[in-house]
Amino acid sequence: MRAIAWLLALFAAAVAVALLAGSNHSTVTVFWPPYRVDLSLNLVLLLTALLFIALHLALKGLTALFAMPQQAQRWRLQQKERAAHAALLDAYSHLLAGRFLRARKAAEIALRQENALLTSGHPMAHGDKLRALAHLITAESAQSLQDHATRDTHLQLALDNTAQRNSQDSQETREGVQLRAARWALDDRDADAALQWLDALPVGASRRTLALRARLKATRLARQTLPALETARLLAKHRAFSPAAAQSILRGLALELVNAAHDPAQLQRAWDELEHAERLLPEVATQAAQRLSNLQGDASLARQWLLPIWEQMVLAPPDQQHAYSLKLVRALEASFSSADSPLDLPWLHRIEAAQQRHPRDAQLQYLAGMVCMRHQLWGKAQLLLGQSTPQLDDTGLRRNAWRALATLAALRSDTEAEQDAYRQLAKL
C-alpha cells in the first residue's frame, strides 16, 4: 500500500514539473562585464538544486571525516563492553556446565575489562551490576570448589558494589547475593549463618518463595520447630508445594513439635500453637494424646483431643479407617488405662455405638472390651475381648487382650481359662 502511495506521489510530482516547465518561457540574465549571459529559468532552478545537493554532500562528508576519531574511540569502547559481556556469559555458561575453574577465569576477565573501562574514564552504564554479578559467579565457583577464602572475598566485594546504591536493579542484585550466601551457609550445614543472611533481607524479599524455602531448611537444620512450622504455613499459603506435600511437611513438623514436649504444660503450649487444620490430622492428634498419656497428663484432655479424630473414623468408610484406627485405639486405651483417669460414660456410649455400627471390626471390639473392663462390666468385656482376640492383626493389642482375659478369668476364679490365656500370651 505504501509503494502504491509513493508511486502515485511520484506521478503527481512529474505531472506538476511537466506543467510548470513546459509552459515556462522566462529567462534569467546575468551581467558580468563585458559579458552578458542569458539562461533559462528552468536551467537556473536545476543548477541551484544541484548546487545545494553538492554542498550538502560536501558538508556531510567533512562532518564524517572529522567524526572518525570519535567513532573509532566509540568502536573501541563498544568492543571492550562486548568483550566484558561475552566473558560474563561465558562464565555463567561454564558455571552451569560444572566447569568451575573456567567460570572463575571468565568472570575475572569480565572484571578486568570493566575495570579497564572504568580507569579510562568511560564507565559502563551498568558497570556496578556487571561487577557484582561477576564477583557472585566467582564466589559461586569457589563455593563449589570448597575454596571458602576466595568465596568470602568475592562475596564481600559483591556486597560492597551494591551497598550504597539506591536504584532498583542494585537493590535486587544485593538481595540475590544475600540469598546465595544463605544458600551456601545451608550447604555448609551452618544454620545460624543462613538465618543471619535471611534476617538481613528486606521485609518484602524475606517473604518470597525462594527465601521462605531457605528459611524452612535453616530452621529445620537448627531444630527450631515452631519457626519452621510457621514458615511451612506461609509456603503452603503461597502454594509453593503441592497439597499432599504441604500436608506431609506440616504433619511432620507438628509431630516434631509434639514430641519435643517433656512435660504436660509444655505439651499443652505446643498443642495451642497448632492450627485447627493441623489438630485434625489423625497422626498429630493421636501422637499428642499418646505423648500426654506417657507424660502422665490429664487423660480427659487427651480424649478431648481425640474426639474429632474419633468422629472422622466412625464416619469414614471401612477401607479408610485402617490407616490411623490402630493408633487411635492405642491412644484411647492409654488414656483409659491411666490410674487417675475417671470413668467416662459418654465415651463408653460412643465406643459401643461405633462397635454396633461396625460389628466385624476387631479393633473396635477390643477397645469396647477394654472400656467395659474399665467400667467393671466383666461379662460384656469378656465377650467382646474373646471375639476380637483371634481376629486382631496387631501383636501388641492381641497380647493386651489375652492379658485382660487372664485377669477376667482370675476375677471369676476360672483357673483353666486363666491358664489357657497365659499359654496363648506365652506363645506371643
Of 149, 227, 222, 144, the residue nearest 187 (C-alpha): 144
| Beta carbons of 107 and 137 less than 8 angstroms apart | yes
pLDDT, greater one: 104 or 325: 104
Give Cα 188 distance to the centre of its chain: 20
Distance, in Å, from the CA atom of 213 to the CA atom of 186, rounded to the nearest integer, reads 11
* Mean pLDDT, range 257-285, rounded to an integer: 90
Q: What are 30's three cell numbers? A: 546575468
Q: Residues 95, 97, 99, 102: is their CA dihedral positive or negative?
A: negative
Give the separation between CA 382 and CA 373, rounded to whole angstroms: 8
At 114-151, the pLDDT tens digits run: 888 888 877 887 888 888 899 999 999 999 999 999 99
Which residue would you say has higher pLDDT here, 138 or 342?
138
Q: Which residue has the higher pLDDT, 67 or 316?
A: 67
pTM given for the model: 0.74
Q: Is the pLDDT of residue 379 over 60?
A: yes
Residue range 147-172, pLDDT digits in tens: 999 999 999 988 888 876 567 778 88
Mean pLDDT to the nearest integer, 217-246? 90
